[in-house]
């Protein structure tokens, strides 16, 4: 009997899962459901080329219009799933319709973490996750006179860099002591902080927002806990995301920081899998579970689940990688900075072209590069295979590419 796979969420993970099922020869029905009404699109450009006006919304689509009918993928937009009935293996849509499944893939992504400060509801205080968010933010940026950013993470800093390209001197506020502090090494944080300062942004680190001030419902400025006030008519709040795991929780699945899955990305009900930003999975490179927010993770987890459903199960072990573009600095990371004891650099930090290698037990476990794509590509390969030592990492004459080739292809 032909089986049905239902995928909730047509983001990077869901669309890839549908595509990979067909590539892997799955012949049953594939239903791809998403609450939003835009054709499935890429998110990374929302804070980069789209925000800068260099890429139109239509260019962000993940797949062309023909793709879904050609692959016999039942894409349904405007289809919000409101409940999962595990006993009868069906999902319920907002309109009351039931859609039956044999396998259910949760690819529901994440949403901006709420920021609890007085005035957060004022007109002019915004978040960035969806194409609609990005369109609204871009329109406001065109008329804003003073831009503020709360959160010096990837999205906040990418937006600050775009704002600078339009002539703004953004005020960036973060409670942490260094930019992108949870994700990158101190030397990388310092290089990016210097870049943003050179672009004209003020980085207020170790500072926190006490309130957003407003008049007639519109933002007029930010007051910090130390009493300082900064006038602003546009504030982007980028303080991280929370996994969209309410459906799973309400269906009685194990949920912690996202949907708990095993090393094959199966939820606590084996007919259900979770992938992408919403999945809390066993970390193949360290103890415990993690959740990753990256296109690589969404796409590779989708491929892993599709292969299992198509009859070729294997555990998820992909090497994580990520990128972020801020002005003329392209950051690329490979591996995870878990348990890193210290970092060494390769290349000239002052020139803005260098890599930082994080070491654990004498072995490189994470590589961060600014404008050194060859280091990044080599790292994606050697991190999955041939160990790299401190001395090899620091020695510019040591051939990383040749070293990487000795590793198995990921």
Ligand X SMILES: Cc1cc2nc3c(=O)[nH]c(=O)nc-3n(C[C@H](O)[C@H](O)[C@H](O)COP(=O)(O)OP(=O)(O)OC[C@H]3O[C@@H](n4cnc5c(N)ncnc54)[C@H](O)[C@@H]3O)c2cc1C
- Closer of 49 and 349 to ligand X (Cβ): 49
* Bridge partners, residue 281, by sequence: 290
Joined together, the tokens standing for residue 147 give 């831009």
Q: In what order do the strands lie in the sheet with 329-335?
A: 321-326, 329-335, 363-370, 353-360, 342-348
Does 303 participate in binding ligand X (rule CB under 6 A)? no
User: How many C-beta neighbours within 10 Å does residue 89 have?
Assistant: 17
| Residue linked to tokens 């002005």 | 327
Answer for which of 68, 280, 323, 382 binds ligand X (CB under 6 A) is: 323
Output 233 or 277, the one with its CB closest to ligand X: 277
Across 299-328, b (16+ Cβ under 10 Å) vs e yields bbbbbbbbbbbbeeeeebebbbbbbbbbbe
Given the structure tokens 């789209």, which residue do they identify? 50
| Shortest spacing between CB 291 and ligand X, in angstroms | 10
* List 322, 343, 354, 382, residue binding ligand X (CB under 6 A): 322
Query: In this chain, which stretch among 22-30, 33-41, 189-197, 200-208 interacts with ligand X, using CB under 6 A?
Result: 33-41
**Minimum distance between the CB of residue 279 and ligand X, rounded to whole angstroms?**
8
Cα(343)–Cα(123) distance, rounded to whole angstroms? 43
Q: What is the DSSP string of 268-281?
A: SSTTEEE-GGGEEE
Query: Total residues contacting ligand X (rule CB under 6 A)?
Result: 37
Which is nearest to 158 in space by CA: 369, 326, 330, 328? 326
CA dist 236 and 247 (Å) reads 28
H or E segment at 342?
strand 342-348
Q: Is 197 in the site for ligand X (CB under 6 A)?
A: no
Distance separating alpha carbons of residues 153 and 393, to the nearest angstrom:
27
CB of 45 to ligand X, least distance (A): 8
Contact between 293 and ligand X (CB under 6 A)? yes
CB of 392 to ligand X, least distance (A): 27
* Least spacing, CB of residue 389 vs ligand X, in Å: 28
Q: Is 368 in the site for ligand X (CB under 6 A)?
A: no
Q: For ligand X, which stretch binds (CB under 6 A), given 10-18, 179-187, 260-268, 344-352?
A: 10-18
Count CB-CB contacts under 10 A for residue 19.
Answer: 22
Restricting to residues 56-115, name those near ligand X by CB under 6 A: 80-81, 107-110
Kindly state whether residue 161 participates in binding ligand X, applying the rule CB under 6 A.
no
CB of 232 to ligand X, least distance (A): 20
Binding site for ligand X (CB under 6 A): 8-14, 33-36, 43-44, 46-47, 80-81, 107-110, 128-129, 155, 244, 247, 276-278, 293-296, 298, 322-324
């Amino acid at each position: 009997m032909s089986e049905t796979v239902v995928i909730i969420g047509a983001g990077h993970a869901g669309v890839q899962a549908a595509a990979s099922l067909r590539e892997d020869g799955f012949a049953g029905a594939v239903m791809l459901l998403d609450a939003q009404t835009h054709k499935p699109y890429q998110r990374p450009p929302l804070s980069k080329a789209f925000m800068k006006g260099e890429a139109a919304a239509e260019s962000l689509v993940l797949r062309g219009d023909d793709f879904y009918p050609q692959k016999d993928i039942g894409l349904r937009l405007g289809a919000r799933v409101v409940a999962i009935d595990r006993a009868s293996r069906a999902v319920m849509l907002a309109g009351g319709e039931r859609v039956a499944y044999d396998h259910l893939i949760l690819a529901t992504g994440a949403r901006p973490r709420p920021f609890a400060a007085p005035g957060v509801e004022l007109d002019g205080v915004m978040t960035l996750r969806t194409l609609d968010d990005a369109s609204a933010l871009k329109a406001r940026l065109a008329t804003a006179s003073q831009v503020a950013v709360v959160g010096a993470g990837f999205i906040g800093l990418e937006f600050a860099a775009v704002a600078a390209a339009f002539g703004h001197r953004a005020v960036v506020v973060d409670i942490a002591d260094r930019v992108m502090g949870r994700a990158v090494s101190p030397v990388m944080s310092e290089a990016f902080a210097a870049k943003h300062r050179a672009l004209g942004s003020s980085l207020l680190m170790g500072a926190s927002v006490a309130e957003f001030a407003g008049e007639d419902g519109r933002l007029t400025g930010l007051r910090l806990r130390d009493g300082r006030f900064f006038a602003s008519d546009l504030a982007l709040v980028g303080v991280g995301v929370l996994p969209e795991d309410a459906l799973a929780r309400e269906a009685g699945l194990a949920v912690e920081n996202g949907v708990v899955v095993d090393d094959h990305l199966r939820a606590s009900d084996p007919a259900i899998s979770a992938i992408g930003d919403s999945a809390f999975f066993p970390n193949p490179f360290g103890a415990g579970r993690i959740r990753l927010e990256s296109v690589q993770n969404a796409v590779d987890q989708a491929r892993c689940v599709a292969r299992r459903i198509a009859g070729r199960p294997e555990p998820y072990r992909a090497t994580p990688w990520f990128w972020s573009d801020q002005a003329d600095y392209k950051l690329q990371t490979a591996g995870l900075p878990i348990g890193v004891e210290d970092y060494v650099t390769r290349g000239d930090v002052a020139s803005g072209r260098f890599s930082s290698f994080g070491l654990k037990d004498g072995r490189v476990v994470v590589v961060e590069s600014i404008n050194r794509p060859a280091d990044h590509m080599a790292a994606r390969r050697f991190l999955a295979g041939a160990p790299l030592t401190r001395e090899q990492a620091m020695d510019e004459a040591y051939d990383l590419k040749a070293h990487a080739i000795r590793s198995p292809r990921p």
